[in-house]
Amino acid sequence: MSAELVMESSNTWAIETLHSLTAELGLFKDGDWVESKDQDPNGEVRLIQLADIGDGQFIDKSSRFLTKDKAKELRCTFLKKGDLLIARMPGPLGRACIFPLEGEHKYVTVVDICIVRANPKKVDTKYLMYLLNSPDIREKIESLKSGSTRKRISRGNLSIIELPIASLEEQKDIVAKIETLFSELDKGIESLKTARQQLKAYRQAVLKHAFEGKLTEQWRQQNPGKLETSEHHHGGEISGEELANLPRIPAEWKYARLGDYILGIEAGKSFKCDEREPSAEEIGVAKVSAVTWGEYDESESKTCMDPSKVNENYFINKGDFLLSRANTIELVGACVVAKNVTKRVMLSDKTLRITFSCLLSGYFLYWLRSPKGRDEIMHRSTGNQESMRNIGQSRIKSIVFPLCSAKEAEEIVRVVEQQEAQIQKLDEEVACELVRAETVRQSILGKAFSGSLII
């Protein structure tokens, strides 16, 4: 419902703008132009940035500073607790929150954030924050954005947006109702997030038990003639120290090194590409992110523009076992088995294809994703920076894993995939509920400022 329709339905509402709401006893201005050269990590004044501005909440994330002398030299506006901050850049554009931190002359903000101190005789700050974050006003803000690459809204355009303002008494009732409903909604969201964490923990527990022989304990009892482990070459003795840090396994199993079961490891090449996803007719080169998030994602690839760089031997095929040799410490060694392959995408220098001599590739996939498998990868990865780690081919081959019979390996993969399908289904259901919760949040705000939340 538009502001005009609200006006027609109630004589206690008025049309105002940020300009009119701050014209008396207020403040409406952009933050300050503070360049990198003006900043000082040892400064006493914190520079509030776009990353700190959430959609209805202050995130308190940034850590940039400048000295008090520099802030005074630049004639910065110091923030006060209770100021309304509006982000003039996405995402989302126009998001607003109330500044909650205490302290005189301790905080300033960047030029792409508007500072609003509204006239308290006209509007409650919380009411104004919720109003600016509501669907109708957000839509108006989007319609007034400008810029070719970095979209933003000017303070001038913000200042002319018409806002439906209820009487002060009704504003307080609306805010109270919104916060009651949001509190109930947040409890539900917290429960959903907890459920998601529990699913994540359960997934890890399934993998842990799989490679301790617990998932197939009954299977071994029922199939005593299928427990002989595969023959393998000794690529290096496993020390007692290594074995001491590995879980106890069934008597029929033993530990081996990955290299004993690897026929080959291939890496692609690194060269300049167009940083966009290739079309169906073009050749791509896989990014690290193509193998990072549990499934092979061929859309996460760059476009090869030099025909001389194309090598069909590097094309990723369905069923390939792919591993990221370079990434953050949490993601180095991330691996997938390629399932959906419709494009011609080549391996990169950071994406390895591993061919195993026996056992299902899924067995190695799940081991390397298990808690102890991840420990093996992280222990062997190199690099001084946490932001980028590397694991070379020789170190991949040295990874220790629990070896069982080929038949039991098949059963482990079957059971894990069955459990994974159930976990994935539940996770998708939780994700849908989280999306629905945000839709409900927007619906609450929509009703609040159409005059239908308080009747």
Residue that is last in its domain, among 379, 404, 429: 404
Percent of the chain with pLDDT over 70: 95
| pLDDT for the residue numbered 5 | 45
Same domain flag for 297 and 382: yes
Distance, in Å, from the CA atom of 95 to the CA atom of 442, rounded to the nearest integer, reads 13
The answer to whether position 369 is within a domain reads yes
Encode pLDDT of 183-214 as tens digits: 999 999 999 999 999 999 999 999 999 999 99
Say if CB 426 and CB 159 are below 8 A apart: no
Is residue 385 scored above 80 in pLDDT? Answer: no
Sign of the Cα pseudo-torsion (69, 74, 78, 79, in order)? negative
Residue 432 lies in a domain: no
| Amino acid at residue number 301 | S
Say yes or no to pLDDT of 352 above 80: yes
CA torsion sign, 431 to 436 to 440 to 446?
positive
User: Does a structural domain hold residue 45?
Assistant: yes
Over residues 428-455, mean pLDDT:
93
Average pLDDT over residues 438-454: 93
125 and 252: one domain?
A: no
Structural domain ending residue among the three candidates 166, 187, 214:
166
Which amino acid is it at 200?
A: K
Are 112 and 91 a contacting pair, CB within 8 Å?
no
d(CA 334, CA 172): 51
Condensed to tens digits (0 to 9), the pLDDT of residues 216-241 reads 999 999 998 888 876 554 445 788 88
Task: Please determine, for residue 1, whether its predicted confidence score (pLDDT) is greater than 50.
Answer: no
Confidence of residue 383 (pLDDT cuts 50, 70, 90): confident
Look at phi and psi of residue 64 and say left if phi exceeds 0, alpha if psi is from -120 to 50, else beta. beta
> Are residues 234 and 148 part of one domain?
no
Q: How confident is the model at residue 386 (pLDDT cuts 50, 70, 90)?
A: low
On whether both 275 and 376 belong to a single domain, the answer is yes
Q: Are residues 9 and 121 both part of a single domain?
A: yes
Please indicate, yes or no, whether residues 34 and 145 belong to a single structural domain of this protein.
Answer: yes
How far is it, in rounded angstroms, from Cα 161 to Cα 154? 12
CATH number at residue 41: 3.90.220.20
Which of 12, 20, 310 shows the shortest CA–CA distance to 171? 12
HEC assignment per residue over the chain:
CCHHHHHHHCCCCEEECHHHHCCCCCEEEECECCCHHHCCCCCCEEEECHHHECCCCECCCCCEEECHHHHHHCCCCCCCCCCEEEECCCCCCCCEEECCCCCCCCEEEECCEEEEECCCCCCCHHHHHHHHCCHHHHHHHHHCCECCCCCECCHHHHHCCCEEECCHHHHHHHHHHHHHHHHHHHHHHHHHHHHHHHHHHHHHHHHHHHCCCCCCHHHHHHCHHHCCCCCCCCCCCCCHHHHHCCCCCCCCCEEEEHHHHEEEEEECECCCCECCCCCCCCCEEECHHHHCCCCCCCCCEEECCCHHHCCHHHECCCCCEEEECEECCCCCCCEEECCCCCCCEECECCEEEEEECCCCHHHHHHHHHCHHHHHHHHHHCECCCCCCEECCHHHHHCCEEEECCHHHHHHHHHHHHHHHHHHHHHHHHHHHHHHHHHHHHHHHHHHHCCCCCCC
In a domain, 29, yes or no: yes
Tell whether 299 is covered by a domain: yes
Dig out the tokens for 36 from the structure: 């990198």
Residues 248 and 379 in one domain: yes
Query: Residue 453: what pLDDT?
Result: 87
pLDDT band at 88, cuts 50/70/90? very high
Of 144, 166, 188, the position where a domain reaches its end is 166
Is the bond preceding residue 91 a cis peptide, omega within 30 degrees?
Answer: yes
Please report whether residue 191 resides in a domain: no
Q: Measured between alpha carbons, how far is 62 from 41 in angstroms, rounded to an integer?
A: 12
| pTM of this structure | 0.82
Cross-strand partners of 355? 264
State whether 237 and 90 are in the same domain.
no
The answer to whether residues 248 and 390 belong to one domain is yes
Instruction: Extract the tokens encoding 56.
Output: 């209805």
pLDDT of 48 above 90: yes
**314 assigned to some structural domain:** yes
The pLDDT of residue 19 is above 80: yes
Tell me the two tokens of residue 377. Answer: 């990868």
Portion of the chain with pLDDT greater than 90, in percent: 85
pLDDT of 236: 58
> What's the confidence (pLDDT) of residue 2?
53
| Angle subtended at Cα 343 by Cα 340 and Cα 349, rounded to the nearest 5 degrees | 95
Q: Is the pLDDT score of 153 beyond 60?
A: yes
pLDDT at 315 over 80: yes
377 and 245 within one domain: yes
Average pLDDT for 435-439:
96
Q: Rounded mean pLDDT of the chain?
A: 93
Judgement on whether residues 252 and 386 belong to the same structural domain of the protein: yes
Q: Give me the domain span that covers residue 396.
A: 229-404
Q: Report, as an integer, the average pLDDT of 317-322.
A: 97
Residue 107 token pair: 């905080």
Residue 180 placed within a domain: no
Q: Are residues 161 and 37 in the same domain?
A: yes
Domains in the chain, number: 2
The per-residue pLDDT for 232 is 52
